[in-house]
Amino acid sequence: MKLKYNHNHEELLPSELQWWKKWFQTKGAVAHCEKDYIWRTDNEAEIEINSWMFKGVSAKDKILDIGCGPLHGHGSKIKGEKVNIIALDPLAEEYNKLIEEYAPQVEFRGIKGTGENLLDIFKNEEFDMVISANALDHSRDPILCIQNMIKVCKKNGIVRFCVAEDEAVRSRYSGLHQWNFTVYDDKLKLWNKEGETFVEEHIDCEYIKIDSEDWSLFGSKGLLIEIKPPNKVLWE
């Protein structure tokens, strides 16, 4: 089933940019995230290698972060060694200007792109790990994003993303919040006002694992999704 997206995604992006501008201006206080601001702007921050997102990662891995926002917030080093994280966002050029204005000491810079056009930017099987944190439900086409994330990930790599459960409903379908992810009969369901579908029906993979964690600080439950790319290449 092809779900509809009845909004002009590009017209909604400026509201996201304005929110992050306030975040920079208030050093995170706009969202009670002062500690998050300190973490994201620390060039020496260590990646939490025992966290769900980065379990099994090494400093030698090439990582792609989809929908990173202005500062990906994962840290940039493992045991003092710089990690190769390429961070992608449709507003990267505007975000980089915010960094220059409000936090020029930060080394991080993202590149412009979306999950939908990954294959225009990167090669198949280019990355050891492909991740996305709280972003796919903000995209124009989450299914296409997930399909592309799998394609640019190496066969022995891993794809991981997390989203807030039923984010569009919780946000009353405001701004970029136009999609809901939830779990139904142990499958990952994507839905909105127009209909519903299951992610598993649209992807090729060895497995998909679904877990959850308490995001009550943000008024929701976090869904943690891990996908293992297929052993056989099913695309050119």
Q: Which residue type is seen at 44?
A: E
CA dihedral 40, 77, 64, 165 (to 10 degrees): -50
- Mapping DSSP to helix (H, G, I), strand (E, B) and coil, where does residue 104 land? coil
The CA distance from 63 to 149, in Å, is 11
Please report, for the chain, the start and end positions of each structural domain, with discontinuous segments joined by +. Answer: 9-228
Q: Which residue type is seen at 236?
A: E
Is pLDDT of 5 > 60?
no
Q: Quickly tell me which residue has 């296409």 as its tokens.
A: 144
CA 227 to mean position of chain CA atoms = 14
For the stretch 52-101, pLDDT in tens is 999 999 999 999 999 999 998 899 999 999 999 999 999 999 999 999 99
For the stretch 159-198, pLDDT in tens is 999 999 999 999 999 888 999 999 999 999 999 999 999 9
* Superfamily for domain range 9-228: Vaccinia Virus protein VP39 (3.40.50.150)
pTM of the model: 0.92
Structure tokens at 94: 């505007």
Is pLDDT of 204 > 70?
yes
Structure tokens at 85: 């994280």
Q: What is the mean pLDDT of residues 42-55?
A: 94
CA angle 33, 37, 39 (to 5 degrees): 115
The CA distance from 61 to 111, in Å, is 19
CA dihedral 199, 13, 27, 102 (to 10 degrees): 130
Edge-first strand order for the sheet with 62-66 is 111-112, 84-89, 62-66, 127-133, 153-164, 220-228, 207-215
Is pLDDT of 9 > 80?
no
Closest CA to 114 of 140, 78, 94: 140
Is pLDDT of 1 > 60?
no
For the stretch 113-165, pLDDT in tens is 999 999 999 999 999 999 999 999 999 999 999 999 999 999 999 999 999 99
